[in-house]
Chain A
Amino acid sequence: MKKKLLRLLRLAPLALLFAGQAFAQTTGTLVGVVTDLATGKPVEGAVVVATGPNLIGEQTAVSAKDGSYRIQLLPAGQYKLLVQLAGYKPFERSDIRLSADKTLRANLAVVPEAVQLEEQVVRTGIAPVINVGSAESGTVVSRDFIANIPVGRSFQAIAAVAAGAGNDQYGVAFSGGQSPENGYIVDGLNITDPSYGAAPGTWTNRTTPTLLSNFIQEVDVKTGSFMPEYGRATGGIVNVVTRSGSNEFHGEVWTNYRPDFLFQPKGKIIGSDGEGVAYYSKPADGAYNLDAGLAVGGPVMKDKLWFFAGFAPIVQKNYFDRFQRLTVVGGDAGAPAGCAAGSICRDSNGFALWNKVAGTDTKTHSGQTSYQWAGKLTYLANENNTVTVSTYGQPSTLTVWGTKQLPDATSNYDTQLTWYDFVGHYAGKFLSKRVIVEADLGYHGQKTKDDPTAYQSSHPAIRWNDPTAYYSLTAFEPVAGCSDVIHCQIRGYSTGGYGFTGDDTISRIAGKLSVGALFSAAGSHTAKVGIDLERNDYDKTKRYSGGILVSARGAVFRTVRGYAHILPTSPEPGVTDALADIVWDGSLKNQSYSNNNAYFLQDSWQVMNTGVTLNAGVRLETQEIKSKTQSLTKLSTTDSWAPRVQAIWDFTGTGRGKVSANWGRFYWAIPLDMGDRAFGVEREVSYRQRFGCFTGLPATAAASYNPATPQLYGNWDTANLVGAGGAPGCPNVVNTGAGTGADGFQAVGGYLFTQTGQGAEPVMPGLKASSVDMFGAQVEYELLSDLSVGIEYSGRRLGDIVEDMSPDDGNNYFIANPGRNVTWSDANGTYSGKTMPAFDSIGGRNLTVNFPKPTRDYDGLTLKVTKAYSRNWQAQASYTYSVLKGNYAGPYMDDYGGVGQGQLDPGITAAFDLPTLLWNVKGLLPGDHTHTLKLYGSYTWALGSRLSLTGGGGYTGRSGRPMTALGGHDLYGSGLAYIIQQGGAGRTPFTHQLDVRGAVSYVLRAPYELRFSIDVFNILNQQEALLYDQNYTFDQVQVIQGVKCNVQAVGTSNPIGKLQSSCPDVAFLKTINGLAVTPNANWGKPIASNLAYQVPVQVRFGLSLAF
């Protein structure tokens, strides 16, 4: 008897495994079977009590006839289970680690009182790493991971540890999707930015911190194939659960300080090759990164009401040094032998040689200050009813550097950026705990306010850019020793104010109600039905610093944007030569809102005695976007049915392995940027004039520019233009409005204003929402205790997309599903999602073309080894091989403009605007990184009872991103014509990032623990290029159709030569006017931006006192 018992104990009795879908997004579930150890039969009526530091009170369940028990609504954390039944010895099982939105199976075997055990054999260990109840992809990042492994401070950085995940410009991206396609959930509330779709804190082109890890209990990263209770996302779900109080007072005071100024890593010089201005990061000027904070949690009333509160200021400061440089030209004193007279001398890597102009260093800075708060109250009315309210938020002041090229007192630009949330959550158990009701009500707010200073409000930005010729830097500022243009050439220069600015007020009110039930039918079922309602509001005020944005090209000033409209009384609609016909709006306010509703039904069925779990469900999403400004217009999708199925087979029968497959359709909710830009009013007036014809200004920029008063030009508008027919000294006035060529008004003389932008864009009848189909399969096996190996295939295919398209070569736009063959008309025209007129700008022919179907195909294979935290160590290794191809990257166009600025305009990017913008786009998309290898691990050494040491490390190795050759588009400008197929010009280099952490903890006097840590990020100081200049030429070109270029040209010593020799067609390329194309000397070389290189080595010190 004894022997048999011992064997039984070793074999199975305490298995813990994931089982089925959990009930709630913020809590987990424990299930299991209580058996009699002596007989192996189920035991009915055993009382199972769950207790844990994160659980207010205790939760109990009584085992059913089949011995099964289930305890729901358990906050993530450590648990202890106690089984009590008359006639049996009380049995206790601790060290159960439960995650939010997961169900853990804990089978319990009880020993009859009569049986005497000589030896208690208890298998210690923790939750298994295999989730045999779900086929969802992803990972849970626990506090053990965050505490011991060097990762960034915010949840975005934490989510990036998931296998295959990578960062794009707006956050973390999964499986071929883009970061704005993710859903970001904190404590059950969708906190995704309602305006652009990124995580709050990640604003368009401006980043402030997201929630700090000190306030986070865990991050559940779902990289795909999640069940129907989650939606509005075609990427992944980042589900964050914040910390709660407990029955004991616990708290933490911490600081993390990255004194960048102490270390002077050798930074790469940032600048366009062969140009006269460059920068480098100069932390020694005082750069640092600091967060400090206080968090405390405890009981207000023991077992009844808990609180958690935290506050943390976060300060960041970055410094750059800007200097002038003279390019070395053949024939100069000191020029290397062999450098041809009059041409730029280059090093062996193909970079232009240069000499710094002494005494031209200018310090510039950027930075931000944020104050983050977090708070939570947990109230247990009784064992069956819990209410939680939480709040978190962060006001920030962000200082942006670079409003003008030559730094001075007016260069910096401040923005106030705030996000904040309030969430209320109720959970109740009814009908003998077999029915669970959950209700959530939340408010998410965002506010931005751009610099209202007098300087910005009165000074337009002037963007000096001549795609056909370089300026001499001397035209803008004195340059000692610059004898001619080639020695200090510059293609672009900025003066005046910041340009586009605006204020946003954004909100979301969200309500969710779900009812879950447990029942038996050929096995056990966990079914759930729910509704999920959201109302989003977006008020946007837009303006340009100084009222207009001016672009200067050679000697022509073109006011490209100014909010204004032309009165309907103008003789020709949208065009006038009379100032009296124009109403200058100054700023523009658009208000829009959306109602995003969803209804779902799902069931997780554990088919009896088979080890098979079938999860199935469906979600219906509806979306309506309306403008308050133009109330007639709306986008409405009502038939977004998203079925999802998963099948999982535990082939071991013991929870140690699984084979699974999944398929699902996922819809994306379009952010309100579309409500503002497509359905609001965005009327602007453009005009152009020759520089020399401003009264009172000299004829050329070179002769007149005074860097001390760069705003001089910004104050001029067409009112200063010399009148009709030109004037003495400016006979060549060409007063063409934007693109109106031979307009009759030209004969009148004077200047011509053209209104751009329309009221509201029409929407395709029967519009379908954007969708992605996700499918995949997994095999996972627990090789050793707590250590599993797995292989996973993930596939993603694009369904419909929603984009704006132009029916008339860029004059008007409509919203449609590109490639869908629907044609309709309204009073203004006829529209089709499939066929479009196009103009052959070289041949002069009118063509009709078919839009291709949007595609984005992702296939990824991941090998994964996971060692959960136990016996003082943890490890996680993953390798992903993936291919991402297609013609549509997503809501964010990475390559717009060719030098990393991108375009985040969800649903209304330039993609699919015109057929000519699509040619050659099919290829390797920017998010394609063939190989991704991630290694994380930590080990803790206990040195006595008080002292412990922890060493941790993280490594990410990743293939570079594909690069292409872009030319100027005849209507859209630079960086939008794919000369060769996307991704055909090679990749940026493979990057290695190795981060290490060392920490020492000392218990001063229990429970006071002092912890000191040092993190070194990028310890190898790798500074590979992350982005090359993709503008092969600034000339307007047509693209080379059907070209088969596949060459690593970028990053070589002579990228242009390499591309031309491997793809000879490129060498023959002509402009649309039949001129030989002039290549951009910086093509295939790093862009002139601090995004160009990996961040150099950084050291962070952390100090905390916890109790």
Chain B
Amino acid sequence: MRKLIAIAAVAAAAALAACDPYIDEPGGTPRVISAFENTGGAAVEGSAPTASGAVTIDNIPTYCIAGAVLTGDPRAPLFETSLFFVKFNKLLDGFSIQTDAGNCAPAANWLTASATPAGGAWYSCYNPASPTPEEGASVVIFWSPAAAVSGWDAADVLPASNTAVTTYQLTGSVKDKGGTSVAIDVTGNFDPNPGAPGTPTFGLPTATSVDVTWTAAGCADAATTQYVVQRAPDVAGVAGTFADVATVAAGTLTYSDTGLTTGTKYWYKVQSRTATGVLGDASGEATVTTP
């Protein structure tokens, strides 16, 4: 009997010890699962990675940049950063990414950039954290004028044209903890954001039409920046849902809206738009009432 008990005890203890399903690191071959760019706390997702892991991120808003200086954006200076996040399926070897835990200089110069703005350098931080269990670590790549950085709080905005798309391509390879290399190839296309037009003003309305006029957006390019006119019904003193009324050609700062109902209050606003169709900021809202 005692033998039986002893055997049962040993067997049960061994079974309990062997059964440990709770450590479940995402394993397998390291691969890029996504890449996105974050400017001003909002993310712009890239394309799905190709077989080799290459990602293109289009339509990154540049927020009205003149030269290397961000101007005009109300969210400045808090958001003067351009961060590339490359997300992986698992944790990586941090020492293959940054020189050491306190220095985000790319380890062994692994990172190659298609362009490096003057007066600064490219940095790569290993960010082991992630917001969901489906995602592993990320490599955060950014440009900074600082001589040495330990985190991406030092990132600066990437200079980009306010008239044409500016492209930065970042390539290289890093390693997972098992020493397996994984390629990074991220292309970021910065599309200019013309900024917000002036709050619309109105000509004398008729029973069914009104002329809407605005001033050009702060960073508009007269040759390429278009404007989208939007109108909303009045709902108990506040604007209802805005709908696009028209997109006017570059250089035009007025629009005659027709088909209105007599004796009705309308809300208008205007949003800038680049030649490639990227929407910029919207103006303030204004109301007009038809007679």
Listed in ascending order, the chain A residues whose CB lies under 8 Å from chain B are: 742, 779, 781, 789, 791, 793, 838, 840-845, 847, 849, 859, 861, 863, 881, 883, 885, 915-916, 919, 922-924, 981, 1037-1044, 1046, 1060, 1064-1071, 1073-1076
Q: Mind listing 5 A-B residue pairs with CB under 8 Å?
A: A915-B132, A1040-B137, A1060-B101, A1070-B125, A1075-B151
Is residue B41 within 8 Å, beta carbon to beta carbon, of the partner chain? yes
Asked if B25 contacts A779 (CB within 8 A), the reply is no
Task: Mark B117-156 against chain A: 1 for CB-CB distance below 8 A, else 0.
Answer: 0000000011111111101111010000000001111110
Taken together as a complex, chains A and B put the C-alpha atoms of A847 and B13 apart, in Å, by 42
Mask of B15-34 contacts with A, CB within 8 angstroms, 1/0: 01000001111100000000
Closest chain B CB from A703 CB (angstroms): 30
Contact of B16 with A919 in the complex, beta carbons under 8 Å: no
C-alpha spacing A841/B130, complex, angstroms? 10
Q: In the assembled complex, which residues on chain B have CB atoms less than 8 Å from the CB atom of A845?
A: 36, 43, 45, 131
Known: A849-B132, A1070-B129. 11 other contacts (CB 8 A): A779-B5, A789-B2, A843-B36, A843-B138, A859-B16, A1040-B129, A1040-B130, A1042-B91, A1068-B127, A1069-B128, A1074-B154
With an 8 A cutoff between CB atoms, is B172 at the interface?
A: no
State which of B91, B125, B150 has its C-beta within 8 Å of the C-beta of A1065.
B91
Chain B residue numbers with a CB within 8 Å of A916 are 131
Shortest CB-to-CB span from A836 to chain B, Å, is 11
Closest-by-CB residue of B relative to A1072 is B129
Enumerate chain B residues within 8 angstroms of A847, measured Cβ to Cβ. 131-132
B30 to chain A, nearest CB (A): 12
B residues contacting the other copy or chain, number (CB 8 A) = 50
Q: Are B135 and A1041 in contact (CB under 8 A)?
A: yes
* Any A CB within 8 A of the CB of B48: no
A1065 engages B36 (CB within 8 Å): no
Inter-subunit contact A844/B133 (CB<8 Å):
no
A1076 to B91, CA, bound (A): 18
8 A-B pairs closest in CB distance: A1074-B152, A1038-B129, A1065-B128, A1042-B25, A840-B131, A1067-B101, A845-B43, A1068-B94
Partner of B24, one of A840, A915, A919, A1042: A1042
* A164-B160 Cα distance, complex, nearest whole Å: 66
State whether the Cβ of B98 lies closer than 8 Å to any Cβ in chain A. yes
Q: How far is the CA of A1070 from the CA of B153 in the complex (A)?
A: 10
| Chain A residues within 8 Å of B2, by CB | 789
The distance in angstroms between the C-alpha atoms of A791 and B94, with both chains bound, is 48
B1 within 8 A of A: yes
Pairwise interchain contact B25-A861, C-beta atoms closer than 8 A:
no
Which residue from chain A places its CB closest to the CB of B17 in the assembled complex? A883
B231 at the interface (CB under 8 A from A): no
Docked CA distance A849–B133 (Å): 9
| Secondary structure class of chain A's binding surface, majority of residues | mixed
B287 lies within 8 A of chain A by Cβ: no
Residue of chain A at shortest CB distance from B24: A1042
Interface check B215, CB cutoff 8 A: no
Q: Distance (Å) between the CB of B206 and the closest chain A CB?
A: 33
Quick one: closest A residue to B94, CB to CB?
Answer: A1068
Q: For A1070, what are the chain B residues with a Cβ–Cβ distance below 8 Å?
A: 125, 127, 129, 151-152
Complex Cα–Cα for A1043 and B24 (A): 8
Task: Give A1045's nearest chain B residue, CB to CB.
Answer: B23
Partner of A781, one of B1, B12, B91, B137: B1
Q: Contact: A843 with B16, CB < 8 Å?
A: no
B41 to chain A: which residues have CB within 8 Å?
Answer: 844
- A747 and B4 CA atoms in complex are apart in Å by 79
Q: Is B51 an interface residue (CB 8 A)?
A: no
| Shortest distance between the CB of B47 and any CB in chain A (Å) | 15
A190 CB to nearest chain B CB (Å)? 34
Q: Are B131 and A1065 in contact (CB under 8 A)?
A: no
| A1043 near B91: Cβ-Cβ < 8 Å | yes
Q: Is the CB of A1068 within 8 A of B36?
A: no
CB-nearest residue of chain B to A780: B5
Q: Are B151 and A1071 closer than 8 Å at their CB atoms? A: yes
Q: Closest approach, in angstroms, between the C-beta of B56 and any C-beta of chain A?
A: 17
Knowing A791-B9, A843-B85, the reply to whether A1067 touches B94 (Cβ < 8 A) is: yes
B129→A1069 contact, CB < 8 A: yes
Given B16, B101, B127, which contacts A861 in the complex, CB threshold below 8 Å?
B16
**Chain A residue at minimal CB-CB distance from B128:** A1065
Q: Is the CB of A1041 within 8 A of B130?
A: yes
Which residues of chain A are near B152, meaning CB under 8 Å?
Answer: 1070, 1074
Binding site for A on B (CB under 8 A): 1-2, 4-5, 8-9, 12-13, 16, 22-26, 36, 38, 41-43, 45, 75, 83, 85, 90-91, 94-95, 98, 101-102, 125-133, 135-138, 140, 150-155
**Chain B residue at minimal CB-CB distance from A742:** B75
Asked if A844 and B127 sit within 8 Å, CB to CB, the answer is no
CB distance from B77 to the nearest CB of A (A): 14
| B133 contacts A919, C-beta separation under 8 Å | yes
Contact A843 B43 (CB under 8 A): yes
For B136, the chain A residues whose CB sits under 8 A away are: 1041-1042
Provide the bound-state CA to CA distance between A865 and B131, in Å.
50
A1067 to chain B: which residues have CB within 8 Å? 94, 101
Q: Are A1038 and B131 in contact (CB under 8 A)?
A: yes
User: Do the beta carbons of A923 and B22 come within 8 Å of each other?
Assistant: yes
Min C-beta distance of B86 to chain A, whole Å: 11
Please give the distance in Å from A1063's CB to the nearest CB on chain B.
9
Q: Which residues of A contact B13 (CB under 8 A)?
A: 861, 881
Q: Which residues of B contact A863 (CB under 8 A)?
A: 5, 9
Residues in B neighbouring A1060, C-beta threshold 8 A: 101
The answer on a CB contact under 8 Å between A1076 and B132 is no
Does A881 lie within 8 Å of B128, measured CB to CB? no
User: Is there an interface contact between B25 and A793, defined as CB atoms closer than 8 Å?
Assistant: no
CB distance from A437 to the nearest CB of B (A): 43
**B140 to chain A: closest residue by CB:** A1074
User: Which chain A residues lie closer than 8 Å to B140 at the CB level?
Assistant: 1074
Contacts of B26 in A (CB 8 A): 1041-1042
Whether B9 contacts A861 by the Cβ 8 Å rule is yes
Q: Once the chains bind, are A1068 and B98 in contact (CB under 8 Å)?
A: yes
> Given A843-B38, A1037-B129, are A1076 and B102 also a contact pair (CB < 8 Å)?
yes
- Residues of A contacting B5 with CB < 8 Å? 779, 789, 791, 863
B38 near A1042 (CB under 8 angstroms)? no
Partner of A1040 from B4, B45, B91, B151 at Cβ < 8 Å: B91
> Which residues of the partner chain A approach B151 to less than 8 Å between Cβ atoms?
1070-1071, 1073-1076
Q: Which residues of B contact A1071 (CB under 8 A)?
A: 151, 153
Instruction: Look across to chain A and name the residue whose beta carbon is closest to the beta carbon of B26.
Output: A1042
CB distance from B32 to the nearest CB of A (A): 14
Tell me whether B22 and A922 are in contact (CB under 8 A): yes
- Contact of A1043 (CB < 8 Å), options: B45, B125, B128: B128
Q: Which residues of chain B come closer than 8 Å to A1074, judged between CB atoms?
A: 83, 125, 140, 151-155
- Bound complex: CA A656 to CA B4 (Å): 17
**What is the chain A residue whose CB lies nearest that of B74?**
A742
Return chain A residues, CB-CB under 8 Å to B150: 1075-1076
Q: Which residues of B contact A883 (CB under 8 A)?
A: 16
Q: Is the CB of A1065 within 8 A of B137?
A: yes
Instruction: Give complex CA distance A40, B118 in Å.
Output: 108
Tell me how far the C-beta of A657 lies from the nearest C-beta in chain B, rounded to whole angstroms: 8
Nearest neighbor of B150 in chain A, beta-carbon distance: A1076
For residue A779, which residues in chain B have a CB less than 8 angstroms away from its CB? 4-5, 8
- A contact residues around B9 at 8 Å (CB): 791, 861, 863
A1074 — nearest CB in chain B belongs to which residue? B152
Q: How far apart are the CA atoms of A273 and B75 in the complex, in Å?
A: 41
Q: What is the bound-complex CA distance between A1074 and B94, given in angstroms?
A: 15
- B25, B90, B131: the one contacting A843 at CB < 8 Å is B131
Given A781-B1, A1074-B155, answer yes or no on A1039-B129 (Cβ-Cβ < 8 Å).
Answer: yes
- Chain B residue numbers with a CB within 8 Å of A1065 are 91, 94, 128, 137
**How many angstroms from the CA of A881 to the CA of B13 in the assembled complex?**
8
- Taking a contact as CB atoms under 8 Å apart, the answer to whether A981 and B94 are in contact is no
**Contact yes or no, A838 B131, CB < 8 A:** yes
Please name all residues of chain A whose beta carbon is closer than 8 Å to the beta carbon of B95 when the two chains form the complex. Answer: 1064
State A1067–B90 Cα separation when bound (angstroms).
17
B289 nearest CB across to chain A (Å): 22
